[in-house]
A and B are shown apart, each in its own frame.
Chain A
Amino acid sequence: MTALCALFVRDLRLAVRVGGGALIGVLFFLVVVTLMPFAIGPDLGLLARMGPAILWLGALLASLLALDRLLATDHEDGSLDLILTARVPLELAVAVKALAHWLTTGLPLVLSSPLLGLLLNLEAKASGAVALTLLAGTPGLTFIGLIGAALTVPLRRGGLLLAILVLPLTIPVLIFGVAASNAAIAGPVPFGAPFGILCALTLISLVIGPIAAAVALRQGLE
């Protein structure tokens, strides 16, 4: 337990220190969302209709961008070797790392989404719905990404491959995230149905992600 706490605290510290990259994802999210109104034009109704989809797409791409740092840095400096000799199950160790990663890269996206919603002419209720679905969905994105991060660990600079591997697996999360947001804003589907499926996707990835990542890391040993 102490060991896992130490790992958690270290990853949080590393993320917020110089070169940690905790804010890269948020900055990317900000750039994508602020550029969107310039590209689409001044049609406020259209912007509001597309708002949830734009926010979700921005958040998805921002979390993919950050995944590269989840395990690769620990592999490069030899830390991963030592984590493998620690007396903690590898599944829990990677789960703790993914959790710390979500807190430093995923949660800021959720928190900044209402602010960015203003740029897309979203009403307060709509922004709240998007933030809620992002809160439910981004942990799923991180834990699905964990599998890809573990698979690409043996490759140097596997960043792009990682994104391509993970992207198809994140499509269900994107679909139900946007569907739940739209249901909350415009209807006619009740909010509960797509939101329930979104939560289920996240819960499944919370279980499968760490197990699959640990298997991938052990297979990658050579």
Chain B
Amino acid sequence: MRLRGSDLACVRGGREVFRGLAFIVEAGEALVVTGPNGAGKSSLLRMVAGLVRPRQGQLELEDGDPELSISEHVHYLGHQDALKPSLSVRENLAFWAALLGGGVEKSEVALAAVGLGGLAPLPAIYLSAGQRRRLAVARLIAVERPIWLLDEPTSTLDAAAQTMLADLMRAHLAGRGLILVASHGPIGLEGVKELRLGQQPKQRTQPP
């Protein structure tokens, strides 16, 4: 499996975020997207997830399931954790597992893996920011999808959880998965490719 982006351009709110962007991620590879604030890291991940339309350029997935679009191959872990405060930890995860196409049995394993096994019956409103993020990460394990898009995944995680996430990413890569991570800091993986955004000067598409 190989994800290829070529000559991608992104315009948001009339401002050109990036253009002429190209990258290739092979199976078993991670690509770390870096760059200053506003360079378009999140926009790139959302573009791969199919949540932002590219102004120009193409995204292609080779050797994927031809029945599915790219966005149906991805796990998108954005800034928001997509949790409902009135549902319990278990209900939140079981819902996403069922909607995204996983089994309910695996969600129990996933909860234990992210260290939330003991909190399963608790409504998600009582979770701390880090625990919410752990629950969002549990989604990645509960449902198998080949492409992980992680937007600042470590931002609220403590040291132990960061190690856990790095282990999960290593396991995913070992299983021939693909990972795109937007991050400012180290993510705990060795030998990853880096895509640096925000090099070219910013231009407006139209003069104000």
Contact B86 A19 (CB under 8 A): yes
Number of interface residues of B (CB under 8 A): 32
Cα distance, A216 to B74, chains bound together (Å): 23
Q: Are B52 and A82 in contact (CB under 8 A)?
A: no
Q: In the complex, which residues of chain A have a beta carbon less than 8 angstroms from the beta carbon of B68?
A: 87
* B18: interface (CB < 8 Å): no
Q: Is the CB of B79 within 8 A of A10?
A: no
In the assembled complex, which residues on chain A have CB atoms less than 8 Å from the CB atom of B82?
77-79, 81-82
Q: Is the CB of B80 within 8 A of A86?
A: no
> Does A3 touch B at the CB level, under 8 Å?
yes
Whether the pair B81, A82 counts as a contact (CB closer than 8 A) is: no
Select which of B53, B87, B99 is within 8 A of A82 by beta carbon: B99
Contact B71 A85 (CB under 8 A): yes
Residues of B within 8 A of A5 (CB): 98
Please name all residues of chain A whose beta carbon is closer than 8 Å to the beta carbon of B12 when the two chains form the complex.
222
The smallest beta-carbon distance between A211 and chain B, in angstroms, is 18
Complex-state Cα separation, A97 to B25, whole angstroms: 36
The B89-119 residues at the A interface (CB cut-off 8 A) are 91, 94-96, 98-101
List of A residues within 8 angstroms of B80 by Cβ: 77-78, 81
**A14 within 8 A of partner (CB):** yes
Which range contains the number of A residues in contact with the other chain? 20 to 34
**Known interface pairs A7-B99, A221-B52; A78-B81 also in contact (CB < 8 Å):** yes
User: Which residues of A lie under 8 Å from residue B84 when comparing CB positions?
Assistant: 10, 14, 77, 79
- Beta-carbon contact of B86 and A20 below 8 Å: yes
Give residues 38-80 of B contacting A (CB, 8 Å). Answer: 46, 49-53, 68, 71-72, 74-76, 78-80
A3 x B99 contact (CB < 8 A): yes
Quick one: closest A residue to B80, CB to CB?
A78
A77: chain B residues at CB < 8 Å are 80-84
| Contact between A2 and B78, CB atoms less than 8 A apart | no
Given A77-B80, A78-B79, A85 and B72 touching (CB < 8 A)? yes
Which residues on A are within 8 Å of B, measured CB to CB? 2-3, 5-7, 9-10, 13-14, 17-20, 77-79, 81-88, 221-222
30 A-B residue contacts at CB 8 Å?
Answer: A2-B98, A3-B98, A3-B100, A3-B101, A5-B98, A6-B94, A6-B98, A10-B87, A13-B86, A13-B87, A14-B84, A14-B86, A14-B87, A18-B86, A77-B80, A77-B81, A77-B82, A78-B81, A81-B49, A81-B80, A81-B82, A82-B82, A82-B99, A84-B71, A85-B74, A85-B100, A87-B100, A88-B99, A221-B50, A221-B52
